[in-house]
Structure formats: C-alpha cells, structure tokens
Amino acid sequence: QSLLTQPPSMSAAPRQRVTISCSGSSSNIGNNAVSWYQQLPGKAPKRLIYYDDLVPSGVSARFSGSKSGTSASLAISGLQFEDEADYYCATWDDSLSAWVFGGGTKLTVL
Amino acid sequence: QVQLQESGPGLVKSSGTLSLTCGVSDDPIASLNWWSWVRQPPGKGLEWIGEIFHDGRARYNPSLKSRVSIKVDKYKNEFSLKLSSVTAADTAVYYCARLNAAIAVKLGDAWFDPWGQGILVTVSS
C-alpha cells in the first residue's frame, strides 16, 4: 500500500483532457516537491514534471503539473494514442525517510 | 547526453546475493547529484531501493535496509547495488537513475532523471 494514492486506471478519447491525481500527506507532498514519470510499455520511466509544475525541455507542453496542500495532479491535454502509458507520482517522505512512488495510473486512450 | 546502463547477472539463486552495476557516461559521478536504484516487480509499481553520494554517504529504503548495500567508484564512474538473502519477491526489473539534487532547494525536492534502460533479475529456487 503506497503512501501516495493514485487511481489505478483512467481512460479518455483522443483530443480530450485528463487529470491524474496523487494524494498524500503533510509528511510527503505537503512538505516536498512532486515529480511525475511516464512509463511506456516495456520501457524505463521518463521524467515528465519536476518541482511540482515544471516541464523540462523536450517534454510536450500538453503535460502540466500542479499541487495544492497534500495533493498533486498531472494534466494531459489534447490526448494522443502515444500517451497511452503508466504514470507515476513521486516525492520524499519525511517520516519514512524514503522516496515514495504512487501506485501508478494506467492511462488508456480509447 | 547523460546515459546510465545497468549490468549484472539476470538470474540469482534464492538466498543468494544480487549484484548489479550502473555505469554512468557523460556526467561525473562526483557531482552534486545522488545516484539511485529503483526496482519494479513484474506487473507492479516502482519501489525506491536506495541512493549514494560520491563521498560514500548512502540512504536506504527502511524496508530493505538490512539487506542492501550501495557503493560508488568515482574512478570507474559507476555505482553498484548488492541485495542479500534474496527471495522470489526480489524478482524485478532493476533501474539505476540519477537523483537531480544539484539545483534543488533541498534534497527532498529532487527528481529522478535520467534512468537506465533497466535489467530484469529473476530469483530462482
């Protein structure tokens, strides 16, 4: 059971916007930055978002991140079939003294 | 372009020790970043194993701490993982990754990038 809660799966049609949530607590999201990772089938994770809402160069501007209190979100606009992947949030947990990942959200583009 | 590459045996016997190495290219391991290991059991999510700084300081996941050792070799620009007393539950794809802490305000604000391609390690009975 992860300290960061994500919906196990989501689905949406092409060109739609989807938001993936990541719920934590004051010892993790509430006190540390959140990063998001995309894992395509059979591939290594790839950083999408860091420092809660920063998009690195080379990552599509269709991806955006936000944080409020002890929850964070990843939004993907203009969904494309190539966005079908697993998405993970991550942050440091001060109580556990460990990096924690969300359980992952499998996104299906219908 | 920084690249990380895992290497080591893909099969380890139960109760034995898993040993992996991560070679780092185009980035000196003696930087202000940390170097991490993350694993992913088949069909499951990501689990942080631990990380090391170039001066030898290491941090481990409390759930694995008694069995894990991470070392760094600045001269070879690589770092390694040893996990002892393995069982079938340790079967996973093991990834190495750079923890970008150099420009983070505090270590807890860092992020993992880039990642190695991963190596599947199967624990056999």
Whether residue A35 and residue B116 make contact (CB cut-off 8 A), yes or no, is no
- Tokens (6 digits) for B70: 């991470």
Band of residue A86 on the pLDDT scale cut at 50, 70, 90: very high
Q: Quick: pLDDT tens for B12-37.
A: 999 999 999 999 999 999 888 999 99
Is the CB of B108 less than 8 angstroms away from the CB of A32?
A: yes
How far apart are the CA of B23 and the nearest CA of chain A, in angstroms?
A: 16
pLDDT per position as a tens digit, B69-123? 999 999 999 999 999 999 999 999 999 999 998 778 788 899 999 999 999 999 9
How far CA B75 is from CA of A78, A87, B72, B96, in Å, comes to 47, 36, 9, 18
Matching residue, tokens 């080379």: A58
Q: Which residues of A touch B104 (CB under 8 A)?
A: 33, 51
Q: How far away is chain B from the Cα of A14, in angstroms, using its nearest Cα? A: 26
Q: Return the residue of A nearest to B118 by Cα.
A: A44
Kindly determine whether residue B95 and residue A45, on different chains, have CB atoms separated by under 8 Å.
Answer: yes
The tens digit of pLDDT for each residue in B104-117 reads 878 889 999 999 99
Chain B contact present for A6, CB below 8 A? no
A91 CA to centre of own chain: 11
DSSP state of A50: B
Q: How high is the pLDDT of residue B107?
A: 84
- Tens of pLDDT, residue by residue over A40-63, are 999 999 999 999 999 999 999 999
Q: Percentage of chain A with pLDDT > 90?
A: 98
- Cα Rg, chain B, nearest whole Å: 14
